[in-house]
Amino acid sequence: MQLKTFTLILLISIIYVGSAAAQVLTQEDSLAAGLINRQQATVLSGYGEAKYGIDTKRKSAEASLKRVVLFLGHKFNNKISLFTELEVEDALVSQSGEGVGGKGGVSLEQAFLKFNLNPNTYLVTGLIVPRIGIINENHLPTTFNGVDRPYLEEQLIPTTWREVGVGLYGQFTRIPGLNYSLALTNGLNSEGFSSEGGINGGRQLGQASNGLNLGVSGALLYYVGDFRIQASGYIGGSTAKEQRVADSLQLNSGAFGNAVSLGEMNVQYNRSGIGVRVLGTIINIKNADAINRAFANNTPQQMYGGYAELGYDVLYPKNKGEKSFTVFGRFEYINLNAKIPSNGIENEANEKRYIVGGFTYKPIRGIAIKADYVRRITGDFNQALIVTPFPQQVPYFKNNGFINLGVAYNF
């Protein structure tokens, strides 16, 4: 699918619901917004979600505690605060006393100091989550529809994408509602790139990393009427190797060696129980051929995609959002192999369409009960990429359906 055709489809298919972006939902939000007045205040907060999913083609099911996140924050004074989040995924990390091996992981999702420079500007430093896309910065499971996060914001825009660095956030006082952000972080590691995972595996996530590569991201966020409009971008190096190793691999070194660039724009609308979200993004990896030569990981040269969703809270006329039952539908298009380098291997299965429909019920604020049906449609899987042939190879279905049930909380 050509980019122009995709753009036209995206504009025609404006169908997405979202929660009120400025709504304060958690203790963490209260600390960030300065709503806690007393000094030396320590705040405990968190969120979690569980899922039961059925694969209709393979006739299989999976139940998992997807994640439990504990937030601990501290307000030293009116100028300086600490934010930390510790995440456990899939419940069990190591072998339990019952002899069951763990599939999960433990990681820090963020850990940074926030310095209020003035009422309109603040600085953060540490392990930070840049303002890119919708879900990366606002990823509480009670704030989006669908049991899973939008697939684009997991496969194209990594979520949750956090790196070590410093960020500046502020508002333009002469233009009410217009906000900006600018962040400098460590870059990506191209050794983790792949044809089916894009740049997701290249996140370094606060771990000790070699090389001098850096990443720069920035965003403009505008609240006007019932709209929330955002444009963001990222450019960063991906040679996470010291120079002698980079030279041996024939990779460019330096701060922006083998650069990755990302651009995205999203629009959200909320009024009287109607919610709309639309997002489009494109990623370019200029020297993908050199990365493939060094790591044989089939890195694509260009990826793009978009999604749109529409929903309506049928309880809104009576409850005004205090209790909600939102029926929604979402369409997503993702092309992870939009352009491949000369030494890459094309895989049509990486061009995907998702049709998602379901509901989100919130009996009280902070609790969400979800159900959805997902139709995934892709191209043919390239048989040349099969390492272990039948019967070990898991069958691939171009057209598959999934039924998902979930529950989520935040406090």
Mean pLDDT rounded to a whole number for the chain:
91
In angstroms, rounded to a whole number, what is the distance separating the alpha carbons of residues 330 and 73? 35
Q: Of the given ranges (186-200, 269-283, 392-406), which has the lowest mean pLDDT?
A: 392-406
CA dihedral 220, 169, 182, 167 (to 10 degrees): -150
Q: Of the given ranges (5-19, 42-56, 225-239, 337-351), which has the lowest mean pLDDT?
A: 5-19
The model's pLDDT over 109-159, given as tens digits with 9 standing for 90+, comes to: 999 999 999 999 999 999 999 999 999 999 999 999 999 999 999 999 999
CA distances from 14 to 311, 354, 376 (A): 11, 14, 19
In angstroms, rounded to a whole number, what is the distance separating the alpha carbons of residues 217 and 229? 17
The model's pLDDT over 317-376, given as tens digits with 9 standing for 90+, comes to: 998 778 999 999 999 999 999 999 999 999 999 999 999 999 999 999 999 999 999 999
pLDDT tops 60 at residue 19:
no
DSSP state string for 110-170: EEEEEEEEETTEEEEEEEE----TTTTTS--TTSSSSSSPPTHHHHTS-TT--EEEEEEEE
pLDDT tops 90 at residue 178:
yes
**Count helices and strands in the chain by DSSP H and E runs:** 6, 16
Q: Are 319 and 273 in contact (CB under 8 A)?
A: no
pLDDT number for residue 6: 44
Paired tokens of 373: 């049906």
Mean pLDDT of 261-289: 97
pLDDT tops 80 at residue 380:
yes
pLDDT number for residue 94: 81
pLDDT number for residue 151: 98
* 37 sits in which H/E element: none
**Cα angle value 364/146/110 (rounded, 5°):** 80
CA distances from 145 to 90, 158, 276, 310 (A): 21, 18, 11, 10
Backbone angles phi, psi at 295, to 5 degrees: -120, -5
CB atoms within 10 A of CB 184: 18
**Cα angle value 81/84/87 (rounded, 5°):** 165
Q: Is the pTM of this model over 0.85?
A: yes
Paired tokens of 144: 């989006």
pLDDT tops 70 at residue 13:
no
Paired tokens of 1: 């699918």
Half-sphere exposure of 83 (CA within 13 A, CB side): 23
Q: Are 278 and 246 in contact (CB under 8 A)?
A: no
Band (15; pLDDT cuts 50, 70, 90)? very low
In angstroms, rounded to a whole number, what is the distance separating the alpha carbons of residues 407 and 48? 8
pLDDT number for residue 187: 95
Backbone angles phi, psi at 111, to 5 degrees: -160, 100
Q: Of the given ranges (10-24, 226-240, 301-315, 368-382), which has the lowest mean pLDDT?
A: 10-24
Percent of the chain's residues with pLDDT above 90: 78
In angstroms, rounded to a whole number, what is the distance separating the alpha carbons of residues 335 and 302? 9
Alpha helices in 227-273 (DSSP H): 243-248
Nearest C-alpha neighbor of 177 from the set 122, 229, 123: 229
Q: At CB < 8 A and 24+ separation, what contacts does 317-320 make? A: 317/273
pLDDT tops 50 at residue 8:
no
DSSP state string for 174-227: TSTTEEEEEEEEE---GGG-BTTTBTGGG--TT----S--EEEEEEEEEEETTE
Band (26; pLDDT cuts 50, 70, 90)? confident
Mean pLDDT of 218-224: 98
pLDDT number for residue 322: 82
Higher pLDDT: 290 or 320? It is 290
Paired tokens of 180: 């900006």
